Chains A and B, each alone.
Chain A
Amino acid sequence: MVLLRAKALAIPLLAGEDHTPMVGPVDLEVHAGEALTITGPSGSGKSTLLRCLAILEARAQGSLHFLDVQVASAAVPAFRRQVIYVAQTPPRFAGSVLESLQMAFGFASSTQAFSKERAAAMCEELLLPPDILGRSLARVSGGEAQRLGIVRALLLDPRVLLLDEPTSALDLDAEAAVHHMIETWFAKGDRATVSISHKRELLASVGTRRMHMLQGRLGEAA
């Protein structure tokens, strides 16, 4: 089953621009049960490609299919709940950590109910301090913010996770906890991840597919 199919995904280089990472054209299929890891030098366009897959790049061209249906403009918010992009440095939303975890359940595309107990349990599982929910998101550390980004995404139980260096700010214990939580989610079946990593590979037990990015082009890793 193909969860995500990108056709001729590209960000054209505008005249006079040389700093923007040019991407593509990229053709990509992400199958259910697949853990895809993208490697490549910095500046090769890996992050931009992930953002393109989440339809966050306004200049991107090409088409994106989710479960064999092309994603129409009106369906983009619902699509993004199924295919969640987690930035390397998750944003510091205004308000408390709890509010930031609850936020997505207030959006019009939400069909689920927020469970504070579940959020607290997930935070604990990721070795976050017990009082974290009441703290201001602006005041948590970089590593805590990164783990909270994972919790925010997994609370929505998406089909695909697009992870940009999800453990770059974490020590080994916290990294292992994040990997374990993602593996548990993945084991529900018909899930997939596309991740960028310079560290230990995610879902190594599943057997990951590796691709390599170079100057905006994606190829099978050697």
Chain B
Amino acid sequence: MNALPISNSGLAIAAGFIALAGGVSFALRLGVSKRLWIAALRTVVQLGLLGLVLEWVFDQRSVIVIVAVIASMVINAGIASVRRTERRYQGIWHSGLIAVTCSSVITAFVVIELVIRVDPWYEPRYIIPLLGMVLGNALTGLSLCLDRVMADLDDKRDQVEGRLALGATIWEACRPFISDGVRTGIIPIVNSMTVAGIVSLPGMMTGQILAGASPAQAVKYQIVVMFMIAGATSLGALLAGLMTFRRLVSADHQLAHHRLRKL
């Protein structure tokens, strides 16, 4: 069974909702009409392009093409994870990219190979959406962690150095702040798992049910995806935190604060 197709006239009716939102904004002078129209237009253009790209990608049978698509997704996620942060250090782009790659690619492949057992592994209908979901979530967690660790080592530098001054190793002095960073990074996925099915109906599950899957199967997929995201996010945040730590300290148990630059 497949989902009922949506016709173009159906889409036009849905566009009426945007007109309604625009009308509300105009009537109450909310001043968001313009932004609303641009956002709606962006949704149409971006998703339309995505549809075209996915139609093309899903027809591909060449492992090289799929690997290239995966690589471009991963690189984009790595760049996005760093771009959202407020501070920079030399090598931060490497850190972001390595953390995203290791965490997302590893977990996605475990799911593809051992959980869902997709054959061949590069079957785009599975690997692309799964990787997309894990990347999207992992990059959020990772950039939250990255941002928090850098902010703490900057703003709470006196605490780090206060601990160092009393004989802490650089790891002992920084550890609380790395932990806080990783915790910050995994809060979103922990929250989603906590309220999954109670407050929110996870999007992927909803989609599968609409597409005709049995709720039991959809639930299993959703559980796998959430676990995968939790694993990738923790791993990514931890890697990002540790790499940031390594870049911002010296062998003499010092905080190399001057390597940190606020944008």
List residues of A whose CB falls within 8 A of some B CB.
51, 54-59, 73, 76-78, 80-81, 84-87, 89-94, 103-104, 107-110, 152-153, 156
* Other contacts beyond A81-B166, A91-B156: 13, CB < 8 A: A58-B252, A58-B257, A59-B256, A77-B168, A80-B165, A80-B166, A86-B165, A87-B161, A91-B162, A93-B159, A109-B167, A110-B167, A153-B166
Q: Give the residue of A55, A59, A94, A152 whose beta carbon is less than 8 angstroms from that of B166.
A: A152
Q: Which residues of B contact A108 (CB under 8 A)?
A: 169, 172
- The reply to whether B169 and A56 contact each other, CB–CB distance below 8 Å, is no
B251 within 8 A of A: yes
B254 within 8 A of A: yes
- The reply to whether B252 and A107 contact each other, CB–CB distance below 8 Å, is no
Q: Which residues of B contact A85 (CB under 8 A)?
A: 165
B23 within 8 A of A: no
Alpha-carbon separation in the docked complex, A76 to B163 (Å): 13
Measured between C-beta atoms, what is the minimum distance from B253 to chain A in Å?
4
Q: Which residues of B contact A103 (CB under 8 A)?
A: 163, 166
B119 within 8 A of A: no
- The reply to whether B158 and A91 contact each other, CB–CB distance below 8 Å, is yes
Q: Give the residue of B253, B255, B257 whose beta carbon is less than 8 angstroms from that of A77.
A: B253
**Chain B count of residues within 8 A CB distance of the other chain:** 23
Closest B residue to A55 using CB positions = B252
Closest B residue to A79 using CB positions = B167
Q: Give the residue of B158, B166, B172, B253 whose beta carbon is less than 8 angstroms from that of A89.
A: B158
Interface string of B139-171 (1 = CB under 8 A from A): 000000000000000001011011111111100
- The reply to whether B167 and A93 contact each other, CB–CB distance below 8 Å, is no
5 A-B residue pairings within 8 Å (CB atoms): A56-B254, A58-B252, A91-B159, A92-B159, A103-B163
- The reply to whether A77 and B167 contact each other, CB–CB distance below 8 Å, is yes
With A56-B164, A58-B258, A103-B163 already in contact, the answer to whether A94 and B176 are too (CB < 8 A) is yes
Alpha-carbon separation in the docked complex, A90 to B166 (Å): 12
Q: Which residues of B contact A104 (CB under 8 A)?
A: 163, 166-168
With A107-B167, A108-B169, A109-B169 already in contact, the answer to whether A58 and B162 are too (CB < 8 A) is no
Q: Which residues of A contact B162 (CB under 8 A)?
A: 87, 90-91, 93
B250 within 8 A of A: yes
- The reply to whether B168 and A73 contact each other, CB–CB distance below 8 Å, is no
Alpha-carbon separation in the docked complex, A81 to B256 (Å): 20
Q: Which residues of B contact A84 (CB under 8 A)?
A: 165-166
Alpha-carbon separation in the docked complex, A51 to B255 (Å): 12
Which of A58, A73, A76: most chain B Cβ within 10 A? Answer: A58
Q: Which residues of A contact B165 (CB under 8 A)?
A: 54, 56, 80, 84-87
Measured between C-beta atoms, what is the minimum distance from A189 to chain B in Å?
22
